[in-house]
Structure 1
């Protein structure tokens, strides 16, 4: 497959339960409603980028089951190239999502087929790209293969290491872009400093990559290794309905902006807006804006 943006990541069936409050240990709670939808961080990011006009391909794995059929069909319907999605002898991944009355969420993921995505599948699928995006809901071998293919193709590697685990040695370096939230940044660079100082420290420890930190309702902070100076991006204020998948909306909008030749700060600004927009709608992929919707939303807020 060839596309300006290639996402190497997960596909999950999301089963969402809306509750009054998130449960504490040992508690049983009742759901107010339930729904099933397409999800997985890789699929979410690919769909978010495609809806914003990017030419996107997704590399991932699903099972030979109804869930896999539904996910591939849903992602393709959003305009994503799905020829890099392989079928494996494992159940399609699933996620159970609890969303409370304050729009906060709790998510439990069963990796299933995602954990079968291997380096060979990634290497054979990624033939040309300008940006190769990877996340941590697939095995290290697949992520390392994505980074290696990016280097071979002269593409920019963008890593969103969520859920966080130890970063394999040599994964990042000059020209790569690391996208993390505050908690993930603290795991990489400690917590006894400002966000900007920790971003600079993480960049230094990880081979001089650029670091973009998502700050939820506060926006984001971009540290570009070439300048050494952090740039703060302020998020628009919104009344959140559901924050599920907002980080993936951010990622998709970010790479769509970069693929459209926006500079990193401008792409990050657009990403913050897309994440805020997504928080005003329920669900993950169902909450993501098209380019027209995001432009109209931005204009209406002025």
Structure 2
């Protein structure tokens, strides 16, 4: 029997014949955080010992993995989530919201005791920034809570596995099984964590926060840090670093190009040359790729063969920018879709940036995640 979500996508696409069909292989598995966000928008961030009123507020599901998979589901993928919550009121709300968005929650561990994860988010409408105060779930997830039968079922027919860096002990078990089955792995590298390196070494694709590459590699610049990451992670095909309003930067490894006649160029200089090609008048997301495969050198670090791509972000009018909460999760969800749809990098980066930009026009992460049929995505899907 067809699920309600699959019937929705079929009817939506029938009404919008210009939208390409969803990828044939679209089951993705995510392992990581699921929680509740308590969001309050304020006119300005409070000073110490000050009482203020919110201008608007919202309570909705959160957590990096849960958000990214929710976004992926709205774009047309069939996500399964491995995570842990408690059997409390927030936990029941988490389950209900994920199910309503088409995320398979069969693999969530529900603890009879403890509490579900939650996050206080204060959104400053003046500076367009947000501050998060996170409380992790208790007790934390441990590998024994995911049976071999559940793990096997979760990975059955999966096109991709995604990790947000939480529950690293359990995540490593899932990643090892995915590697054994030759299922590609994408990792969201937000910040270094205990045990995270073991997981990262199994990755096929990495999407980083702006601070992670240099924090992890100690390289002097972001471009040189990306070179260092590919040298330290030989299985990784590409690494993307998201830079907020400054867009993103991608280093795409090309191992088939190990030939001596490749031009050798210092990586920072290539990035600067690509940035000079950005049209400052263009307000929509674009991609500026290097024209060919090069031997990219980071002085004191080493060399890799690949292509560099600079992605721009949408220039959102101040009157439309509401909240950046979940923008990174939207980018991840769109990247998962793009890989499943075999989008080339030149198309993937603007698409992911546009999905993130649409999200920023609403308070909270999930309020802003677009559906596949959103007309603002049409130019990036066709």
Question: Which of 13, 32, 47 is residue 70 of structure 2 equivalent to?
Answer: 47
Alignment of 1:190-269 (within 5 A): 190=218, 192-193=220-221, 195-209=222-236, 210-226=238-254, 227-239=305-317, 240-269=321-350
Q: Distance in 1 between matches of 2:239 and 2:197?
A: 17
Query: Cα RMSD over matched residues?
Result: 2.4
Alignment of 1:140-159 (within 5 A): 140-159=168-187
Q: Report the CA distance between 1:76 and its aligned residue.
A: 0.9
Corresponding position of 1:118? 143
1:63 aligns with 2:66: no
Normalised by the length of structure 1, the TM-score is: 0.89
**Structure 2: which 5+ runs fail to align?**
1-24, 255-304
Q: Report the CA distance between 1:97 and its aligned residue.
A: 0.5
SS in 2 for 1:237: coil
Q: Report the CA distance between 1:299 and its aligned residue.
A: 4.9
Deviations along 1:201-253, one digit per CA (max 9) or x if unpaired, are 12212334221100111211111222422211111211321000100011111
1:72 aligns with 2:95: yes
Is the CA contact 1:119–1:145 (under 8 Å) kept in the aligned structure 2? no
1:134 aligns with 2:214: no
Q: Distance in 2 between matches of 1:219 and 1:146?
A: 31
Q: Which has the larger radius of gyration?
A: 2
Q: Distance in 2 between matches of 1:231 and 1:79?
A: 33
Corresponding position of 1:90? 114
Corresponding position of 1:34? 57
SS in 1 for 2:107: strand
Q: Post-superposition, which runs of at least 4 consecutive aligned residues in structure 1 deviate over 4 A? A: 297-300
Q: Distance in 2 between matches of 1:114 and 1:22?
A: 32
Q: Distance in 1 between matches of 2:53 and 2:192?
A: 28
Q: Report the CA distance between 1:261 and its aligned residue.
A: 2.1
Question: Which of 214, 217, 223 is residue 189 of structure 1 equivalent to?
Answer: 217
Relative to structure 1, the CA distance from residue 224 to residue 248 in structure 2 (aligned partners, 3 Å threshold; closer, same or farther) is same
Q: Distance in 1 between matches of 2:191 and 2:122?
A: 17
